[in-house]
Structure 1
């Protein structure tokens, strides 16, 4: 079989996705994915195609992207260590700054030690794959992030799903598993598309009853929930703890990388078994320096967290009272659920014309019929900017007949 014949099996899939994109983005003004935005350093505005627009779908929850202190820390790291690392962490890739960042992550999250990966995705895949294998069972919330799902599937363990945020369903699922094997339950602390929070106390009780491990992904909870932004355990007044906590350095923290925290003995084992850690290049110095300074600022300035929490609650209330469906959001992540993929693209396009960026999320990232704009309220947004965004979102919703006049 020649190469062109082999490609014929793939071609229908390529044609189908490109046709779907063309149906949604049939003119330049409707382009809403993979757009290059030029951010302003000291505001929430971005420039695209010559227009100055208010970004309302970015991840920078505590408003530190572009902060001069973070920029200077990144520059200082480059000045001292260069632009890259000469290998993987196990060989020549570790620099003192990596260990300094790991100590800061552990301190901030209230654990003995931490390990920093090249991405949050790698942290999930590597951790799940190291913990479980053939003969074990991994139980996933129906809405877990793709990195958790991929790690579970690649591990070779049996993968079972339970209904979203439903401890009773998890209880029934665990009852059917082998108690003489590793059972790992994995949930997001805050769900990235819905903004709701995992019921940690109830999940902990179920896992304890069945002797299962509980792992939480703090990607969208660090800097977002808890009185000082320390995540789901602080949100529940530190009454219960997860067995394993992972997270990212690219959401609230304006850098790259992922992390896992735990005791030193466990992490010494994990760094030799987590393949994405062992075989990936070490995190670059600039990213390490930026992440380290960001965590220190967050520790000193918890008011950033409370400001974003208060403004997101106000935003949710106003949008809900106006007739928009914000789902079960309890956090800075606020979905504006509009139904079909076409509705989401129409709505995003109308919002952009009104001066605001609200980015659409469609299937398969969300279930059919639940396409949405994924909005994120951050500490960098001023009250006036949020008011402007509310007016733009509601004006666009009326234009798209999503709510009444």
Structure 2
């Protein structure tokens, strides 16, 4: 055993090389964010919004603002039916789980929720995780490892990318929504082990939809499995909100479907749906599922009720689709850039990070919240406000937002297309 002598130890109060390296990282974050949020008025991140019950408005520092960047696509956040379901779950099962699902954490409510997810997504079985992030990381890690190959769209969500890197599999990226490039990548890769292609259904920064039929054709030609993340698709695309397969009139099916319970479904958690064998394997092989506490009863109860409401009230989906189309048209008509969006996720592409923060701050002065997304989440020069049209937005709300965004663009001299 080696013992440090007094001459080996760093002097009291002296910074070690590791501490100095960490300090540089911490300072860099302070500088980067501080340059964008140089005053309290310019703050756009981690703001404590208070929802105004039954409306798409929030309150901030005594000001009532129209929220246009929230993820409760179905307009069910705060719905009294969900609150009652959550309360019933707490009354029966308590406020938390007794442990992980494999041990004392599983309740009849978890099984009921999983059965409803499976039914709604038109699969035989489903598994509920503590978050959508955990579902992606856990599923990819359980399906792939050293010797296997994962192919990911360049714009896939960070949870997909992290799951691929942690899995130990060989990871290959292909150009966004480009089946031909995927085909060339698959041709160049060894035809050994598991070959898994992973895409988002709706891309969270751009609002465009994956070309599922073409991707399925390429995967079938190369014997690859196809997995889609429906995080921004459930309740948003498809005639009844069932996601990308319904969006393409069920022309093709995917091998692994997963998504969240925290966007269109305003609760917490993630889900994976597929064959009974797949779900059985994930129960024992997906580490974020196996080693995380079970989803809390209140979240299970709220999610279960939201899925049932979505099934009964598909008019919410139709409203989202019609109002988001109207919003996109109005924005492009005045020269705003919305990229390739065809869904409820509508980017207002502004330019530099600073310009996006300037514009977001001015929008708030006009009474609407449009939150900026900057590098590294998006490429340099393509910073944007990410707008989400929900079922809680009436036509009047959308008109109000359009007027506010246009006035803010005029005040900031935002470059038009």
Residue of structure 2 aligned with 1:41, choices 50, 53, 56:
53
How far, CA to CA, are the matches of 1:271 and 1:14 in structure 2?
38
Does the alignment pair 1:56 with 2:81?
A: no
Q: Shift of the alpha carbon at 1:180? A: 2.4
Query: Any idea what the Cα deviations from partners look like across 1:234-291, whole Å, max 9, x if unmatched?
Result: 0000010011001000000000000000111221111100000000000000000000
Q: Could you say what secondary structure the match of 1:8 adopts?
A: helix
Counterpart residue number, 1:400 = 412
Q: What is the rounded CA distance, in whole Å, between the counterparts of 1:22 and 1:227 in structure 2? A: 44
DSSP-derived class of the 2:189 partner:
coil
Distance 2:206 2:99 in 1: 38
In the aligned structure 1, how far is the partner of 2:37 from the partner of 2:194? Answer: 46
Task: Identify unmatched segments of 5+ residues in structure 2.
Answer: 1-8
How far the C-alpha of 1:319 sits from its partner, in A, is 0.3
Of 15, 28, 31, the residue aligned with 1:4 is: 15
Partner of 1:151: 163
- The C-alpha deviation readout for 1:304-343, integer Å capped at 9, x for no partner, is 0000100000000000110000000000000000110001
Matches of 2:282 and 2:26, distance apart in 1: 38
Provide Cα deviations, 1:201-246, integer angstroms capped at 9, x if missing partner.
0000000000000000000000000000000000000010011001
Does 2:94 align with 1:82? yes
After superposition, the CA RMSD in angstroms is 0.9
- Distance in 1 between the 2:227 and 2:278 partners? 14
**Are residues 1:316 and 2:328 paired?**
yes
Q: Choose which of 280, 284, 294 in structure 2 pairs with 1:268.
A: 280
Establish whether residue 367 from structure 1 lines up as the match of residue 379 from structure 2. yes
Contact 2:350 2:415 in 1 (8 A): no
2:148/2:192 contact within 8 Å kept: no
Residues 1:171 and 2:183 aligned together: yes
* 3-state secondary structure, aligned to 1:165: coil
How many residues align? The count is 404
Verify: 1:245 aligned to 2:257, yes or no.
Answer: yes
Question: Secondary structure at 2:250's aligned position in 1?
Answer: coil
Structure 2 residue aligned with 1:142, among 150, 154, 175? 154
1:344 aligns to what?
356
The 3-state SS of whatever aligns with 1:174 is: helix
TM-score by length of 1: 0.99
Q: Which runs of 5 or more structure 1 residues have no equivalent in the other structure?
A: none
The residue number in structure 2 matching 1:182 is: 194
Structure 1 position 91 matched with structure 2 position 122: no
Q: Partner of 2:226 in structure 1?
A: 214
Q: 2:4 is matched with which residue? A: none
1:10 aligns to what SS in structure 2? helix
The counterpart of 1:162, out of the listed 174, 177, 182, is 174
Partners of 1:330 and 1:4 lie apart in 2 by 53
Give a deviation string over 1:346-372, Cα, whole Å, max 9, x none: 000000000000000000001111100
1:203 and 1:79 mapped to 2: Cα distance? 46
Contact 2:245 2:251 in 1 (8 A): yes
Please give the secondary structure, in 2, of the residue aligned with 1:4.
Answer: coil
